[in-house]
């Protein structure tokens, strides 16, 4: 081949590259953190500190994205999942969020955990216009697209859950006398507000006793005794696992027999009901949105089988009975769906647009009938729950899937 022909071939090749390149430019759109080969996703988890038990969620997500990458990624792009520890401390969360956005240059921050940590970074994320997507907290304030268009929750918020209990009580026990035990923090107060809003005008007459407790208290026995003295016949138990187990035990011990509503946060059979004793927990009512891995009825469920296969193959060191792994799996699937919908338009704006246009999306770890729906004015992906009653050694679902959408 002469030099001239070589040059000609080279020139032609160059022209071809240039035209295909410009064609690609026309359809592909990227913001910082996304390229033809990679999508950078940031995450903040309490791997250390008081809430380190939740760290399992981040580890599950990392394992899930690795599985997705091994299978070719999302639309040909690999997910680069960068997860940092904030030890559940808000100032540290701010530092890590800034590191992710400004130093690692991620496309978005996904499933950062904890109400205080997310509150601390919310303003920053919204001023930088970087998505703070599917935050791992049940606070109601994440559903506020008007003031915070770059922040979105995932799990049903606390207020929806107690609203559902309120609906049930008004329908089935209109003359109930209600005693409420709640943890004295934003989580407890959010639940309490949902209950009062749900009961509406009857709240003042129906709630006969309210007792709050601090997480630093060693036991809540005295609170339970006080609540019993109010002669209530409905007990609403808003407590994290350790205290919920104490409450179930104490209620049985002092022979109080109210209709016991237990918040979903503490509905785990393994970490709450079993330590409290199955015999003490009969007929407790709670609500759920995810399938419980310790529940035998899902053993042959295709969705849960997929989850078990994932746990066995990709995350063998994780405990499938820990509720955190199911959550991590489900929320990671939701993100992958959003990224798929984005196609080649991986701008931050489009991420939020696609996240806000999920329609009847299901990850198969959700209970049958529960669907993820979002819209430009609805930033609460999961807002349905189903009631369940504890029978024998497991939860039995009953009634229909109930919706309650609450804005922040």
Contacts with other proteins by CB under 8 A: the residue count is 31
Among the residue ranges 119-127, 239-247, 290-298, 389-397, the one whose residues contact other proteins (CB under 8 A): 119-127
- Integer Cα distance of 134 and 281 in angstroms: 32
Choices 15-23, 181-189, 251-259, 321-329; region in contact with other proteins by CB under 8 A: 181-189
> Residue 94 CB, nearest distance to other proteins (Å)?
5
Q: Which is nearer to other proteins, 153 or 258 (CB)?
A: 153
Stretch that binds other proteins, among 29-37, 66-74, 98-106, 142-150 (CB under 8 A): 98-106
Q: Which is nearer to other proteins, 265 or 285 (CB)?
A: 265
CB of 98 to other proteins, least distance (A): 5
DSSP string, 134-177: S-B---GGG--TTT-TTB---SPPHHHHHHHHHHHHHHH-TT--
Helix, strand and coil in the chain, % to nearest 5: 45, 20, 35
Tell me the backbone φ, ψ of residue 4, rounded to 5 degrees.
-65, -45
Neighbours of 49 (CB within 10 A): 14
- The structure tokens listed for 305 are 């089988």
Residue 124 or 278 with smaller CB distance to other proteins: 124
Does the footprint of other proteins cover residue 41 (CB under 8 A)?
no
**Segment 208-237, which members bind other proteins (CB under 8 A)?**
214, 216
Can residue 147 be called a binding residue for other proteins (CB under 8 A)? no
Q: Which is nearer to other proteins, 184 or 345 (CB)?
A: 184
Of 32, 38, 66, 87, the one binding other proteins (CB under 8 A) is 87
- Phi, psi values for residue 172, rounded to 5°: -95, -25
94 binds other proteins (CB under 8 A): yes
CA distance 8 to 199: 80
Q: Which of 22, 103, 172, 300 binds other proteins (CB under 8 A)?
A: 103
CA atoms within 13 A on the CB side of 280: 21
* 53 forms part of the interface with other proteins (CB under 8 A): no
Least Å distance between CB 216 and other proteins? 7
CB of 122 or CB of 334, closer to other proteins: 122
Tell me: does residue 30 bind other proteins (CB under 8 A). Answer: no
Residue 88 in contact with other proteins, rule: CB under 8 A: yes
**Cβ contacts of 316-325, under 8 Å, gap ≥ 24:** 318/56, 318/59, 318/60, 318/63, 319/56, 320/293, 321/270, 321/293, 321/294, 322/56, 322/270, 323/268, 323/290, 323/292, 323/293, 324/53, 324/54, 324/56, 324/57, 324/60, 325/56, 325/57, 325/60, 325/293
User: Is residue 193 at the binding interface for other proteins, with CB under 8 A as the rule?
Assistant: no
Residue 91 as a binder of other proteins (CB under 8 A): the answer is yes
For other proteins, the binding residue among 144, 186, 210, 344 (CB under 8 A) is 186
Nearer to other proteins, 101 or 346 (CB): 101
Tell me the window of 34-42, 114-122, 220-228, 356-364 that interacts with other proteins (CB under 8 A). Answer: 114-122
When asked if residue 90 is in the footprint of other proteins (CB under 8 A), the reply is: yes
How far is the C-alpha of 406 from the C-alpha of 82, rounded, in Å? Answer: 32
The secondary structure of 197-253, three-state, reads: HHHHHHHHHHEEEEEEECCCCCCCHHHHHHHHCCCCCEEEEECCHHHHHHHHHHHHH
What is the contact surface with other proteins in residues (CB under 8 A)? 47-49, 59, 83-85, 87-91, 94-95, 98-99, 101-103, 116, 119-120, 122-124, 184-186, 189, 214, 216
């Amino acid at each position: 081949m002469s030099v001239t022909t070589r040059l000609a071939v080279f020139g032609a090749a160059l022209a071809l590259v240039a035209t295909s390149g410009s064609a690609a430019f026309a359809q592909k759109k990227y913001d910082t953190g996304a390229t033809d080969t990679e999508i950078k996703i940031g995450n903040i988890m309490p791997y250390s500190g008081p809430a380190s038990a939740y760290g399992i969620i981040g580890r599950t997500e990392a394992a899930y994205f690795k599985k997705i990458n091994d299978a070719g990624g999302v639309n040909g792009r690999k997910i680069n999942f960068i997860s940092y520890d904030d030890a559940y401390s808000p100032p540290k969360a701010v530092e890590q969020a800034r590191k992710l956005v400004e130093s690692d240059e991620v496309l978005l921050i996904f499933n950062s955990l904890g109400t205080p940590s997310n509150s601390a970074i919310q303003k920053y994320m919204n001023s930088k216009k970087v998505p703070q997507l599917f935050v791992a907290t049940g606070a109601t304030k994440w559903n506020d697209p008007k003031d915070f268009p770059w922040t979105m929750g995932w799990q049903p918020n606390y207020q929806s859950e107690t609203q559902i209990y309120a609906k049930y009580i008004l329908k089935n026990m209109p003359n109930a006398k209600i005693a409420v035990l709640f943890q004295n923090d934003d989580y407890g107060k959010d639940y309490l507000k949902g209950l009062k809003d749900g009961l509406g005008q009857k709240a003042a007459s129906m709630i006969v006793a309210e007792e709050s407790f601090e997480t630093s208290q060693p036991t809540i026995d005295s609170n339970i005794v006080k609540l019993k003295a109010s002669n209530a016949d409905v007990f609403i138990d808003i407590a994290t696992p350790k205290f919920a187990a104490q409450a179930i035990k104490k209620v049985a011990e002092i022979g109080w027999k109210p209709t016991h509503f237990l918040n979903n946060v503490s509905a785990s059979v393994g970490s709450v009901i079993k330590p409290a004793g199955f015999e003490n927990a009969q007929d407790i009512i709670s609500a759920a949105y995810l399938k419980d891995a310790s529940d035998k009825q899902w053993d042959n469920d295709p969705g849960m089988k997929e989850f078990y296969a994932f746990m066995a193959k990709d995350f063998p060191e994780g405990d499938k009975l820990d509720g955190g792994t199911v959550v991590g799996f489900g929320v990671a699937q939701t993100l992958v769906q959003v990224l798929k919908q984005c196609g080649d338009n991986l701008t931050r704006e489009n991420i939020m647009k696609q996240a806000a246009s999920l329609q009847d999306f299901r990850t198969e770890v959700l209970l049958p009938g529960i669907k993820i729906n979002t819209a430009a004015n609805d930033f609460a992906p999961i807002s349905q729950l189903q009631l369940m009653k504890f029978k024998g050694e497991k939860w039995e679902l009953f009634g229909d899937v109930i919706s309650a959408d609450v804005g922040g």
